[in-house]
C-alpha cells in the first residue's frame, strides 16, 4: 500500500497565504496544507463551474478553523474534526489552520490549473 509523510511530500505551493505539500498515492492525492494568514478561497475559483471547487475532498483539520461555504450552507470544522467536502465548496480558513486532505488526483489537477491561473493574475502565486 502506498504511503507518505508530510516531510516527504514535495512543497509545491509556498505563498504568504498557503504552504502546500502534495503527494499522489495511486489515483488519490494527499494534501498537507498550512495557512499562516486568514484566507478566503473565493478569488481562487473563478473559471470553475459555479466558481467553486468541483473536487470532492476527505480530510482532517489538524489545527485552527476551516469553513466550507456552499450555496445553501456553511460548514465549520475545528482541530480534530474529520470532514467530507462534496463538490461545490469554497474554503475559508483562519490563520494557523493546518489540514490533511485527500481527493481524486484527476479532479485536483483540473482545479489546480484554474486556481494557479487565477492566483497568478491576482499576483498571489509565488
Residue 126 has pLDDT above 80, yes or no: no
The CATH code belonging to domain 8-35+56-122 is 2.60.120.10
Residue 125 has pLDDT above 60, yes or no: no
Could you give the strand order of the β-sheet that contains 74-78, starting from the edge strand earlier in sequence? 39-40, 90-93, 65-69, 74-78
Query: Residue 59 pairs with which residues in a beta bridge?
Result: 83, 101
- C-alpha span between 40 and 55 (Å, rounded): 17
| Better-scored residue on pLDDT, 61 or 122 | 61
Query: Residue 63 pairs with which residues in a beta bridge?
Result: 98
| pTM for the structure as a whole | 0.89
pLDDT given at position 122: 67
Amino acid at each position: 500500500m502506498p504511503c507518505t509523510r508530510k516531510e516527504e511530500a514535495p512543497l509545491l505551493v509556498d505563498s504568504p497565504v498557503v504552504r502546500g505539500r502534495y503527494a499522489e498515492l495511486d489515483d488519490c492525492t494527499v494534501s498537507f496544507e498550512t495557512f499562516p494568514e486568514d484566507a478566503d478561497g473565493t478569488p481562487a475559483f473563478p473559471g470553475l463551474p459555479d466558481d467553486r471547487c468541483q473536487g470532492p475532498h476527505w480530510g482532517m483539520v489538524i489545527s485552527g478553523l476551516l469553513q466550507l461555504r456552499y450555496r445553501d450552507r456553511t460548514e465549520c470544522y475545528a482541530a480534530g474534526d474529520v470532514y467530507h467536502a462534496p463538490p461545490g465548496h469554497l474554503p475559508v480558513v483562519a490563520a494557523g489552520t493546518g489540514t490533511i486532505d485527500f481527493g481524486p488526483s484527476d479532479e485536483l489537477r483540473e482545479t489546480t490549473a484554474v486556481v494557479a491561473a487565477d492566483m497568478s493574475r491576482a499576483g498571489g502565486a509565488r
